[in-house]
């Protein structure tokens, strides 16, 4: 197991008030595995979650070349490996856009153990703002697929929470076929309204990893509110991933993924997403505006 080295760069990149980890998929998987494999942790309600006082990292923001970003009330949170309960978020421009005006959501994102840049819009936004997520984007579904692959090697278990009734079960079947050795500890659909019921189900399953797939920002808020009531060390918010794992929704072809155009593919297949996707050009507009205003 790898431990954090003191000389490792500890930095986040600020994109409109949300601090993203500049790490590769492999590094993200390594960190998540380190937490999963750590033993002797207190995973009870008293175990600490990342908090507002953990701010000893280097925080690199657009203000390096421009004005301070404190009008966004950015808080810096420790991005070092901590062998304790944590949640991982994978925001896209739409969520960053919502977080601009929603302090609770912004803090929820910034308190995550890892904040992974899911969409190409985030890496472009960072570049326009004068900073760089030099290790590229980390699509949540690719990160989790790589993590499950690693977990399968040592028979680790995952609990699938979210999507319509029946979807998580189908996703579990497919994931076990794809990653022999992986254990599906349990499932719960995303329309059970009582969080205590879900937490009790998760606790009786003792999973090594919890996937929370309720769509954003519902899943981020659920993780922040409920992780402390569960016995899991680590959970990841993963939007519509269970629909994809179950084969109910097709991911964009590889070429679209490579070009960062998955959003376009989804828009063509699901035109009703237009009202959500309108936030992408708004996000880019504000990013450009900020950069111009800063110079
Ligand atoms: N969902 C859920 N409970 C809810 C609302 C949504 O489980 O109360 C599920 C929904 O069935 C779908 C996922 O959350 O599987 C949201 O998918 P979407 O692609 O919209 O999420 P995104 O990845 O865009 O955040």
pLDDT exceeds 50 at position 68: no
Instruction: State which of 109-118, 191-200, 257-266 shows the largest mean pLDDT.
Output: 109-118
Q: Quick check: 171 and 160 in contact, CB under 8 A?
A: yes
pLDDT tens digits, one per residue of 115-166: 999 988 999 999 999 988 999 999 999 999 999 999 999 999 999 999 999 9
Q: Quick check: 20 and 13 in contact, CB under 8 A?
A: yes
pLDDT at 82: 53
Select from 108, 86, 88, 79 the least CA-distant residue to 96: 108
Select from 246, 251, 237, 192 the least CA-distant residue to 92: 237
Q: Which of 220, 236, 237, 239 to mutate to test the pocket of ligand 1 (most atoms within 8 A of CB)?
A: 239
pTM listed for this prediction: 0.84
pLDDT at 58: 29
The residues with which 235 forms a beta bridge, in sequence order, are 87, 210
**Angle at Cα 208 formed by Cα 240 and Cα 236, nearest 5°?**
30
Number of neighbours of residue 66 by Cβ within 10 angstroms:
17
**116 vs 274, higher pLDDT:** 116
Atom of ligand 1 nearest to the CA of 167: 15
Distance 141 CA to ligand 1 centre (A): 14
pLDDT at 110: 96
pLDDT exceeds 60 at position 44: no
Number of neighbours of residue 121 by Cβ within 10 angstroms:
24
pLDDT exceeds 60 at position 3: no
Per this entry, what is the length of the chain? 295
Select from 214, 54, 60, 37 the least CA-distant residue to 126: 60
Residue nearest to atom 5 of ligand 1 (CA): 214
pLDDT exceeds 80 at position 201: yes
Distance, in Å, from the CA atom of 153 to the CA atom of 171, rounded to the nearest integer, reads 19
How far, in Å, are 13, 116, 215 from residue 22 at the CA level? 7, 8, 23
pLDDT exceeds 50 at position 48: no
pLDDT at 256: 85
pLDDT at 83: 56
Q: Quick check: 269 and 262 in contact, CB under 8 A?
A: no
Residue nearest to atom 23 of ligand 1 (CA): 239
* Mean of per-residue pLDDT scores for the chain: 83
User: What average pLDDT does range 167-179 have in this prediction?
Assistant: 98
Q: Is 23 in the pocket of ligand 1 (CB under 6 A)?
A: no
DSSP-derived 3-state class of residue 233: coil
258: which residues sit within 8 A by CB, 6+ positions away?
Answer: none
pLDDT at 270: 84
Which percentage of the chain shows pLDDT scores above 70? 81
142: which residues sit within 8 A by CB, 6+ positions away?
Answer: 25
Q: Is 191 in the pocket of ligand 1 (CB under 6 A)?
A: yes
Q: What is the residue whose two structure tokens read 């925001």?
A: 91
User: What average pLDDT does range 103-111 have in this prediction?
Assistant: 97
* Secondary structure (H, E, C), 189-201: CCCCCCHHHHHHH
pLDDT exceeds 50 at position 31: yes
pLDDT at 169: 98
pLDDT tens digits, one per residue of 73-100: 333 344 444 557 899 999 999 999 999 9
């Amino acid at each position: 197991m790898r431990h954090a080295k003191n000389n490792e760069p500890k930095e986040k990149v600020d994109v409109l008030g949300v601090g993203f980890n500049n790490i590769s998929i492999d590094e993200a998987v390594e960190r998540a595995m380190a937490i999963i494999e750590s033993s002797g942790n207190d995973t009870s309600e008293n175990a600490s979650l990342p908090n507002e006082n953990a701010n000893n990292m280097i925080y690199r923001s657009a203000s390096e070349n421009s004005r301070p970003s404190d009008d966004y009330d950015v808080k810096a949170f420790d991005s070092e490996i901590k062998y304790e309960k944590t949640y991982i978020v994978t925001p896209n421009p739409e969520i960053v856009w919502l977080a601009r005006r929603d302090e609770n959501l912004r803090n929820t994102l910034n308190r995550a153990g890892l904040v992974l840049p899911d969409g190409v819009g985030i890496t472009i936004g960072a570049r326009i703002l004068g900073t760089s997520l030099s290790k590229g984007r980390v699509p949540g579904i690719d990160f989790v697929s790589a993590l499950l692959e690693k977990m399968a090697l040592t028979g680790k278990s995952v609990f699938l929470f979210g999507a319509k009734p029946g979807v998580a079960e189908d996703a579990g079947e497919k994931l076990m076929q794809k990653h022999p050795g992986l254990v599906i500890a349990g499932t719960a659909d995303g329309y059970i309204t009582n969080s205590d019921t879900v937490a009790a189900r998760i606790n009786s399953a003792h999973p090594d990893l919890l996937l929370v797939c309720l769509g954003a920002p519902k899943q981020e808020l659920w993780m922040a509110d409920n992780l402390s009531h569960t016995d899991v060390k680590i959970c990841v918010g993963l939007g519509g991933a269970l629909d994809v794992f179950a084969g109910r929704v097709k991911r964009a072809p590889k070429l679209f993924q490579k070009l960062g155009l998955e959003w376009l593919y989804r828009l063509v297949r699901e035109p009703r997403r237009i009202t959500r996707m309108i936030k992408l050009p708004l996000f880019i507009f504000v990013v450009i505006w900020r950069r111009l205003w800063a110079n």
